[in-house]
A and B are shown apart, each in its own frame.
Chain A
Amino acid sequence: MRRILDWIDHRTGLETAVRNFLYEDIPASSGFHQVFGSVALFLFLVQAFTGAMLAFNYAPSPGEAYNSVKYIMTELTGGRLIRGLHHWGSSMMIVVVVLHMTQVFLWGAYKKPREATWMVGCVLMMMTLGFGLTGYLLPWDNRAYWGTVVTTQIAGLAPGAGPYVVRLMGADGGVGVVTFSRFYALHTLLLPLAIVLLIAFHIYLVRKHGVAPASGDTLPKKKFFPEQVFKDTVAVFLAFVILFVMALTLRAPLERLADPTDTTYIPRPDWYFLFLFQTLKFFEGPLEVVGAVVLPNLAIVALFLVPFLDRGRMKRVIERKGAAVVVAVAAIGWTGLTAAAIATTPAALVSGETEGPAAWRHLSPEELAGIGYFRKENCAACHALGEGGTKVGPDLTGAAIKRDARWMIAHFKSPQALVPGTSMPSIHLPDAQLNALAAFILKLNARNAQDLREAPQPAVEGAMVYQQNRCGACHQVNGAGVKLGPPLNGLSQRHDRAWVEGHFADPQKFSPGTVMPPYRFSPRDLERVASYLMSL
């Protein structure tokens, strides 16, 4: 073994290089406060690894991207964990990079001759944010799409450069396929290469100048390995455990497929950009550019120039009161802005819900029964309802805009006659049921599709019973039907379930003088229609 290692070292110098790296002298004052750089580096490696893993099952084009992410999340064993690690890892990396900078700032470790190390570090932090920004678009869900729309709009505000930045993002005509490809290329090709080179340069600079000693540290130097490596490893392990538990327990968000026509969606950036989002609210009209572009850029410039603004002698960390004040003010400001942004986020968004509760409740009984026929005829085998995917037939969420009910019913009866060459089979249902099916499809849109797809089967069956027995000839539900008898919305507030069930069998007994005929339902039908009516 020794001989093999010697042979390799003699040819490559690898062992000596590793040895030199590990047995570097570091100041006696080094300790746990200097672990954050190592943790950031480790998290970057986790991002690179999980990112490559995701790419193994990811289709980098809009639409397909969404489906493949969904496939990773729902079909692949371990897919949720891998995406969770990547998703939460990105947040964690930003946290750790900021902690690393804060430590360096508090200790004043950027002072001469380490100014360049600090400035390269600033660029690395910007790149980390760049990864977050570009990666945000890649799942191509509503959150990704609308978040990026706002990002590109803000970039467009930059005086002079705005239009060019937007063109560079491929977003002149709005966020679309070109934007997607550019963000993907940045996220997976350009940024990784650039950041690896800069990380190498950053570490080289750290080595060149040595770890910054505390002021007045005159004790003999110690070795980097194994004591400091041990401390770094413990910190890395802690970070990893937190990340792993987050990835296991928290579901990385995947909302509905990006829908550029969705006017109800309220976009929010990822949490680490919320403070910028909130800052923007203080500037209106012509001043908007100040909040969107000028202030953030000034902050970046100030951050870069920190080593030149603070040129005083090296002091002990406890004596650096000014630095502590700056950090405290920044922390309070950031927390306040972020909290304000969260507080003003509509509740529906916080829970990740974008559709009003139970859109199916707003359908007329006929439309709701249409869902039943849709399921009964197994239409979903060939048609998507806004969930994406590549099914044989067209997605029906868009169909209503193009076709009227008459066309649809003719098409149901004889698909070949209206769409030559279609592989759709005829639907053999009575006219009334085809009407219901058409009514349901007319009601569909991209916003309610998911909710309607998931409408509870008992309610749907209740509506089918209601529709087949023509209850609508005398009653109204959600404004549909004839007002001969009492409207049925709010029935549960007027009568209990036993009353409703008994009333069907013998209306005269419960409402003397009523014109309602008795209905003898099967126990199952009675149960369904009663449940449906009581839910209104």
Chain B
Amino acid sequence: MRVLCLLVAALTPLAAQEPFCVEKGRPVPCKPAQRQKAAVPRIDPQVSVASATRSPWLVSNGWLYRRNPDRKYEIDAREGGAVRAAAEAIAFSGTVLIHAGQAEAAGLAKLRQAAARLPRVDLPEMADFEFVDDGRAVAGEILNLFARRNMLARGVAKPSGALPVIRIGDGELTGDLARNPSEFAYAVRQKLGDDSRSLRVFGTEMAIVRVLSDGRTARVHAVNYSDQPLEGVRIRVRGSFTQQAAYAGDAVEDLVQDNGFTEFTFPEFDVYAVVDLRR
């Protein structure tokens, strides 16, 4: 039996899928590098965290990629979740090496094709406010919560003056409140007001969306963290856009402009959808 186990162990690498690498959001051949471990993105049903909502707990890395854009990560997704991990890295411009199982080879190939079709653009990240990130763990967790709630925060060391500033310790956003990042994020949301948020997501709490826009063109990435396809996810994004080009997922539906915002529906997607909107 021991011989058999050794034999299986020896053969396993031959059957494994080649790692999938993403650099700054683009699939690339893998190169050796020092990497920091990151989690397999998923929904964690076991986590019991005090929360202002009963929203599912999404384990995601998008905020991490945005917080540390030059850091290289590594994810062991051989047990599953590799396609989602890759989609998340593409959506959030991450640099990551993903160990994948053979079962996800087809999904990764499809994702690679979708990413290859995606035109290279240089669009700024849409943000509603700047969050002063002092580098502490609690600040990171708050950035995580902002991302999970699709609140468009730009983490900064020093405010630029271009956007409203959110800082732990300002007014009602006390240090005590920050110990519960979920409550803190909700307090910020109330301060902003839902109507003035540049991004809203309806029809699911399982998706995290990233928006890049210069006002003339917007790129909207959506990553599904659940194991079921998402149907009818409705997006509201700042800007009036009338044309669309979908690169992953079907063409969006029910595209309407309303009062300086555009709304549309991703009809159905498994893990990743991305659409470019133009005026």
A in complex with B: no
